[in-house]
Structure 1
Amino acid sequence: MRTIEPIVRWDVAFSLFCLRSRYCNQSAMVSKAISHTGDGHLYLLFALLAVLIDSQHGGDFLAVGLTAFAVELPIYWLAKNTLKRRRPAEFSDLLQSHIVPSDKYSLPSGHSAAAFLMATVIGHFYPSLYPACLIWALAIGTSRILLGVHFLTDVLIGAALGIACANLAINSVL
């Protein structure tokens, strides 16, 4: 475990920097709204719209998205419950969470994994939407840090997981 101690120290220092800012409470309000967009309801809405509006790609979009989530969710759950990384507030009394997380552990960030998965799948089928979706996914990951429920490395690993699962599904289904 000594090999990851510098990463943990850096993660805690970065979280302290973000969460001890004088603008922390204001950014938390905005971050809550952004984070909520990654709860899953917009993914379902986008998939339904794709199926209803795009007869050429909508079915493939749905199949790839479902396949990607079918791969990502078990990996996410297994990693989270095997690694059991504590959330930022458990590392220091100076770190506080602005929301109650939906589960106990922090690594990887499920919101980041799902957001980057969706951004990648949307970008494959609808390339003109990719820049906006990528910015949205980055905003969700950032919001999870600013809310005090994830470290930067949780978000980065979640993003990598989502992108990898999306690419695997794209290459497998199509």
Structure 2
Amino acid sequence: MSLKSVTKYDTVIFHWLYDLTRHRDCRAIVWLSKTGDGYLYFFIGLLLMAFEPEHGEIFLYTALMAYGLELPIYVVLKKAFKRTRPCDFFNNFQAHVTPSDKFSLPSGHTAAAWLMATIIAFYYPSFAFVAYTWATLIGLSRILLGVHYPTDVIAGVLLGITIAQLSLTLLV
């Protein structure tokens, strides 16, 4: 499959998903997306460190190291690809939210959510389904809100999982 056909399908899938939210109240999707802003991750880590003696402390350290690795890689990738966001590319198109930065590839919200879900699944396997479902919904929300293409989200998933696995390998 050529890059041109990937881009074509990426755009078609983006429009199909985004059109599901056109002219609708998106407050629930915006709220869901905001759970991926990062504050919740730190709060979860602190709670686990304070109240879960078996894995809480190492969970927090793993997450902090992972985010410390993920953030600069994410920034370098954004600046290297310089992919225009859908809301900045298509004429007469308005996203439901203002993007947090200029470029779209990879999705930082998705990368962070999948990073956290992977670490949660490692230390707390009984919560894996919930964590991965939540991370998937974070990625989907970014498309529905009009700020990312599906391939941005896929790249975010790969980045998040890769950095989480690297961090777990280094600390465990």
TM range (shorter): over 0.9
Paired with 1:147 and 1:8, the residues of 2 have a C-alpha distance of 19
Match of 2:156 in 1: 158
TM-score, scaled relative to structure 1:
0.93
Mapped to 1, the partners of 2:92 and 2:44 lie a distance apart of 39
Q: Which amino acid aligns with 2:5?
A: P
- Distance in 1 (CA, whole Å) between partners of 2:12 and 2:4 is 12
Amino acid at match of 2:55: H
Deviations 1:69-120 (A, max 9, x none): 1111111000001110000123322543111001000000000000000000
Structure 1 residue 49 displacement after superposition: 0.8
Gaps of 5+ in 1: none
Is 2:154 the partner of 1:120? Answer: no
Structure 2: segments with no counterpart, 5+ residues = none
Identity of aligned residues (%): 42
1:141-156 map, 5 Å:
141-156=139-154
Could you tell me the TM-score, scaled by structure 2's length?
0.94
Structure-2 residue corresponding to 1:16 = 15
Residues 90 and 8 (structure 1 numbering): CA distance in 2 closer, same or farther, change over 3 Å?
A: farther
- Greater CA drift, 105-114 or 86-95: 86-95
Distance 1:25 1:104 in 2: 24
Residue correspondence of structure 1 range 7-156 to structure 2 within 5 A: 7-21=6-20, 23-26=21-24, 28-93=26-91, 95-156=93-154
Look up the equivalent residue of 1:10 and give its one-letter code: Y
CA shift for structure 1 position 127 = 0.6
3-12 or 54-63: bigger deviation: 3-12
Distance 1:163 1:112 in 2: 10
Give the conservation status (yes or no) of the 8 Å contact 1:15–1:95: no
Q: Which whole-Å deviations, capped at 9, do the CAs of 1:26-78 have from their partners, x for residues lacking one?
A: 36322101001001111011101110011121111011111111111111000
Q: Which amino acid aligns with 2:109?
A: H
Displacement over 6 Å in runs of 4+ = none
CA contact (8 A) 1:79 1:107 kept: yes
- Distance in 2 between residues matched to 1:27 and 1:152, nearest whole Å: 22
Match of 1:112, as an amino acid? T
